[in-house]
């Protein structure tokens, strides 16, 4: 049995460390996740786990594993397919005008890597139709488990079947034991690493920052802090992209937007912009 006080104790730690909120509607998920960590770490009683978290000698590894269990790593290849067409269009019509030596992209909550790989494939396909500068992708996440999988670059038949066409599978993946491995021509473009968006390291400036389907789990104040930090790492002509169902409306005043298809590109407001969007 987990008391409401115990659940709220752990929910508070998760929010403080990651920004992810567990409240009435999803507290049952937190309970399941706590049960998972008790099982994997060999705790019989939740009180024992609670005691360790209240002690001054909480092992960092246990804390990281605990926070890892609190994350939702759901992702798939070419999530919202029109998104990647819009991205290609934006690169062609805005980024290339800047004449960059290299196109720099950040997948800021990359989970198990499908978003970074889809982006790299989209740009690789573009580069086969026309000359574009080389590109590089920094892909970060708070979940060590997700990052380890992304770094291995091996996906099961089921994962491959989620969003990847047979042509792309044939062009960019090779059969290995345990699934399909992304080819080095794509994986060499992506650098994976740990980063917590609520006290983010600085990697920028970037032409494109993907912050998709992550802030849906955070409260408004946290979203604002994260967006401030992302904008500070954005190239003057670059754009931040959120998930298809997400918006910056009400979170930030000083943005200008460009809409391509059903995708909104959020840009820094230039001095010539007459009004905020």
The reply to whether 111 sits near ligand SAM by the rule CB under 6 A is yes
User: Quick check: 198 binds ligand SAM (CB under 6 A)?
Assistant: yes
Reported residue count of the chain is 277
**Candidate segments 46-54, 125-133, 170-178, 211-219, binder of ligand SAM by CB under 6 A:** 211-219
**What is the strand order of the sheet 234-242 is part of?**
190-194, 135-141, 103-107, 206-211, 234-242, 263-268, 255-260
Q: Is residue 143 near ligand SAM by the rule CB under 6 A?
A: yes
Q: Which of 7, 243, 266, 269 binds ligand SAM (CB under 6 A)?
A: 243
- How many degrees, rounded to 5, is the angle at CA 220 between CA 214 and CA 226? 55
Closer residue to ligand SAM in complex, CB, 43/192? 192
Residue 168 to residue 182: CA distance in whole angstroms = 11
CB atoms within 10 A of CB 110: 30
Rule CB under 6 A: say whether 74 interacts with ligand SAM.
yes
20 binds ligand SAM (CB under 6 A): yes
With binding defined as CB under 6 A, does residue 212 bind ligand SAM?
yes
234 lies in the binding site for ligand SAM (CB under 6 A): no
Considering the complex, state which of residue 100 and residue 243 has its C-beta at the smaller distance from ligand SAM. Answer: 243
Check residue 115 for interaction with ligand SAM (CB under 6 A): yes
Give least dist CB 177 to ligand SAM, A.
Answer: 25
Among 11, 37, 214, 241, binds ligand SAM (CB under 6 A): 214
Tell me if 264 contacts ligand SAM by CB under 6 A: no
Name residues whose C-beta falls within 8 Å of residue 97's C-beta, 6 or more positions apart in sequence: 237
- Closer to ligand SAM at the Cβ: 79 or 252? 79
160 within 8 A of 77, measured Cβ to Cβ: yes
Q: Does 137 bind ligand SAM (CB under 6 A)?
A: no
> Among 196, 256, 257, 277, which residue sits at the site for ligand SAM (rule: CB under 6 A)?
196
Positions in the binding site for ligand SAM (CB under 6 A): 18-20, 71-75, 79, 109, 111, 115, 141-143, 146, 195-198, 212-214, 243
């Amino acid at each position: 049995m987990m008391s409401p006080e115990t659940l709220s104790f752990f929910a508070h730690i998760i929010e403080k460390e990651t920004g992810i909120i567990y409240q009435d509607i999803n507290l049952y998920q937190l309970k399941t996740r706590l049960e998972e960590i008790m099982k994997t770490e060999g705790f019989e009683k939740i009180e024992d786990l609670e005691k360790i978290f209240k002690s001054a000698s909480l092992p960092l590894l246990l804390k990281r594993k605990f926070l890892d269990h609190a994350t939702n790593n759901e992702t798939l290849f070419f999530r919202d397919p029109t998104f990647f067409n819009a991205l290609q269009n934006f690169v062609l019509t805005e980024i290339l005008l800047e004449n960059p030596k290299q196109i720099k992209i950040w997948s800021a909550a990359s989970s198990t890597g499908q978003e970074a790989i889809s982006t790299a494939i989209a740009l690789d396909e573009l580069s086969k139709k026309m000359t574009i500068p080389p590109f590089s992708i920094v892909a970060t996440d708070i979940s060590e488990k997700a990052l380890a999988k992304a770094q291995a670059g091996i996906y099961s038949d089921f994962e491959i079947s989620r969003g990847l066409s047979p042509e792309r599978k044939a062009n960019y993946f090779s059969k290995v034991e345990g699934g399909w491995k992304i080819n080095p021509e794509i994986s060499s473009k992506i650098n994976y690493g740990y980063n917590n968006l609520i006290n983010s390291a600085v990697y920028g400036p970037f032409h494109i920052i993907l912050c998709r389907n992550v802030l849906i789990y955070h409260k408004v104040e946290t979203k604002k802090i994260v967006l401030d930090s992302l904008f500070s790492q954005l190239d003057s002509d670059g754009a931040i992209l959120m998930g298809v169902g997400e918006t910056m409306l009400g979170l930030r005043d000083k943005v200008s937007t460009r809409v391509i298809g059903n995708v909104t590109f959020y840009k820094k407001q230039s001095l010539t912009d007459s009004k905020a969007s």
